Amino acid sequence: MPVVLNVEGISSGYGDSMVIRGLSLSLGASESLAVLGSGLIKYKR
């Protein structure tokens, strides 16, 4: 199965608190991924 998404070393947190550190994953062509939670994406209005 071909890999359509490959990420390595993702880190995220709130201030000094790291909630995700060093996350790596690969996603195949027929696989699904859901990321649940708040504050994962920062944007400006």
In a domain, 2, yes or no: yes
pTM of the model: 0.55
DSSP string, 3-43: EEEEEEEEEEEETTEEEEEEEEEEEETT-------SSSS--
Residue 26 predicted with pLDDT over 80: yes
Domain assignment present for residue 18? The answer is: yes
Flag whether 8 is in a domain.
yes
Write the pLDDT tens digit of every residue in 6-24: 999 988 887 888 888 899 9
Q: 37 CB contacts (<8 Å, ≥6 apart)?
A: none
Question: Does the pLDDT value for residue 43 go beyond 60?
Answer: no
Domain that holds residue 27: 1-31
Confidence of residue 36 (pLDDT cuts 50, 70, 90): confident
Distance, in Å, from the CA atom of 7 to the CA atom of 25, rounded to the nearest integer, reads 6
Predicted confidence (pLDDT) at residue 44 exceeds the cutoff of 70 = no
Does residue 10 lie within any of the structural domains? yes
